[in-house]
Amino acid sequence: DSGVTQTPKHLITATGQRVTLRCSPRSGDLSVYWYQQSLDQGLQFLIHYYNGEERAKGNILERFSAQQFPDLHSELNLSSLELGDSALYFCASSVGSLFSGANVLTFGAGSRLTVL
């Protein structure tokens, strides 16, 4: 158990629907990152939050949005789902923002989304 909790672990839904993925970072970690990994593909960075504020945006579609709440948990909202959105969605957390030493990312187990 990495200490980063993601729910749900698996989710099957239909095209056009909307889903919310949830992440609780490790205790003491202020940063949350969201990544998408399609089958046999590399990690695609979506977005980074630090202590409730958005710090960096990657290749995140306009149909996707995220936020980090005062208790530091984060949610990733995916709407108007398409078949191509089927992927593993990972949340990772770290202690610092960007500039604190190695700032190693600890990943959650992921949420596997299947869009039919």
Partner 1 sequence: GQNIDQPTEMTATEGAIVQINCTYQTSGFNGLFWYQQHAGEAPTFLSYNVLDGLEEKGRFSSFLSRSKGYSYLLLKELQMKDSASYLCAVRDSNYQLIWGAGTKLIIKP
**Contacts with partner 1, residue ranges (CB under 8 A):** 2, 41-43, 45, 56, 88, 90, 98-99, 102-110
Least CB distance from residue 58 to partner 1, whole Å?
A: 8
Contact present, 44 and 90 (Cβ < 8 Å): no
CA-wise closest residue to 93 among 115, 65, 73 = 73
Q: What is the dihedral of CA 22, 33, 109, 81, to 10 degrees?
A: 60
Least CB distance from residue 71 to partner 1, whole Å?
A: 22
Return the number of the residue (48 or 72) whose C-beta is nearest partner 1: 48
Q: In this structure, what token pair is assigned to residue 23?
A: 């992440």
Least CB distance from residue 79 to partner 1, whole Å?
A: 25
